[in-house]
Amino acid sequence: METAISKIGFSIKTDSYEGPFEVLLDLIEARKLLVNDLALANITEDFIAHVRAQKTFPVDEAASFIQIAATLLLIKSKSLIPDLILSEDENVDVDDLKRRLAAYEKVREASRELARIFGKTVMMPAGERAPEIVFAPSSDLSIGALAEALAHVLAAHKTVEELPEARVKPLVTIEEMMDRLAKRVQTAMTLSFKDFAGSAKEKVEVIVSFLALLELVKQGAVAAEQHDLDIRISHTGTAVPRYS
């Protein structure tokens, strides 16, 4: 884990959790690059190294990290295999990632602006006076209304709790997605193998990254299983496989 990261001199902050876009931007900024295809292709391995290095992965974020890793691999593959024609869906994924990253860059700027002023000059509310208490019930107050209000709160609480899992796009399982992507790129590589003469080293890296990612999904820190229409991703245990 250490070597994979220290290679590029980018240290992952272990004290606070970072989302995938944040990791991407950090990697790009560390290399003083602009957000474009070239930059994304450049940091693909580092991003995957980061995914692999995560000891504790927030359960519901694993999917977005892996989905982004998959899109990065597409961009990387395309940069290595010029013959690789991306499908419409794949192009959408790539464009989408770039747009979201650009938007996130602005949000990060905005949040830094807010961090600069938040809590610095707090405008205080009027001081509280001891209230004059007047018993004043209301027409909407009854035991029925109370029961209903609490039932509503409890129901809302349940919805919130369940929301994170439901938000993972229930199109395919992560495993299916990765399998498809692996086949897709491997086929393209076989077809245009002769183009690789000059970049054999990088080709190997791509394949290694792929296998590592697939392994992560299949045996490692996260296990994906399909429940009804939602995907639930859960930690299978604390044991993290080592790839070194």
Write down the least CB distance from residue 6 to other proteins, Å.
24
Nearer to other proteins, 104 or 196 (CB): 104
* Closest C-alpha among 74, 97, 8 to residue 46: 8
Q: Collect all residues with Cβ–Cβ distance below 8 Å to 240 and sequence separation of at least 6.
A: 55, 220, 221
Write down the least CB distance from residue 32 to other proteins, Å.
22
Nearer to other proteins, 55 or 242 (CB): 55
Nearer to other proteins, 151 or 211 (CB): 151
Q: Distance (Å, rounded) from C-alpha 60 to C-alpha 232?
A: 8
Please state the φ and ψ torsions of residue 86, each to the nearest 5 degrees: -75, 145
Q: Quick one: tokens of 14?
A: 């272990």
Helix-helix angle 200-219:62-80, to 10 degrees: 160
Nearer to other proteins, 169 or 180 (CB): 169
Largest CA distance in the chain: 87
Cβ–Cβ < 8 Å for 230, 170: yes
Q: Distance (Å, rounded) from C-alpha 162 to C-alpha 228?
A: 14
Write down the least CB distance from residue 188 to other proteins, Å.
27
Q: Distance (Å, rounded) from C-alpha 40 to C-alpha 96?
A: 13
Nearer to other proteins, 57 or 188 (CB): 57
Nearer to other proteins, 153 or 211 (CB): 153
Residues that bind other proteins (CB under 8 A): 16-17, 19-22, 58, 60-61, 64, 68, 96, 99-100, 103-104, 106-111, 113-129, 131-147, 149-154, 156-157, 160, 163-164, 167
Nearer to other proteins, 83 or 109 (CB): 109
Write down the least CB distance from residue 133 to other proteins, Å.
5
Write down the least CB distance from residue 100 to other proteins, Å.
6
Write down the least CB distance from residue 230 to other proteins, Å.
13
Rg (CA), the chain: 24
SS3 state at 61: helix
Q: Distance (Å, rounded) from C-alpha 26 to C-alpha 149?
A: 45
Write down the least CB distance from residue 38 to other proteins, Å.
21
